[in-house]
Amino acid sequence: MIESIIAWVMALLAFIAAVYAVEAKDLLSSAISAGIASLVVSILFLMLHAPDVAITEASIGAGLTMAIFVYSIGRTERWEK
């Protein structure tokens, strides 16, 4: 019971973060929001008994991809027109 409640909360968080990542005009907060979505999804993977996928998702999705986005924003523009 408690597990399914946690799973629902995590999934809702991931959904909200993903929608915000698409809709936000500030690309920096959009990138950070996408990172939060990956982190929450990695917790979901852990709950679905896939620890190896969770490790990969946490380090690549939340760490490296976000860093690539942030560095790219630093080289281009921060605000979406």
Partner 1 sequence: MRRMAGIVLAALLFACIMYAFTFVKTYDYNSSDYYYTDPIEGGKVNETVTGHYIENTKNETGAINAVTAIVVEYRGFDTLGEVTVLFTASTGVSMLLYSLHQRRKRREANLILKEGSKIVLPFILLTGAYIFIHGHLTPGGGFPGGSVIASGFLLMMVAYPKYFLKESRVSITESVAGMIFVLIGMLGLVFASYFLENFLSLGDVGRLFSAGIIPIIYIAIGFKVGAELSGIMNNLKGVEE
How many other C-beta atoms are found inside a 10 Å radius of the C-beta of residue 35? Answer: 20
Of residues 16 through 75, those in contact with partner 1 by CB under 8 A are: 18-19, 23, 48-49, 51-52, 55-56, 59-60, 63-64, 67-68, 71-72, 75
Residue 80 is a binding residue for partner 1 (CB under 8 A) = no
How many other C-beta atoms are found inside a 10 Å radius of the C-beta of residue 13? Answer: 17
How many other C-beta atoms are found inside a 10 Å radius of the C-beta of residue 30? Answer: 18
Rounded to 5 degrees, what are φ and ψ at 25?
-85, -30
Residue 9 is a binding residue for partner 1 (CB under 8 A) = no
Residues forming contacts to partner 1 in the complex (CB under 8 A) are: 7-8, 11, 15, 18-19, 23, 48-49, 51-52, 55-56, 59-60, 63-64, 67-68, 71-72, 75
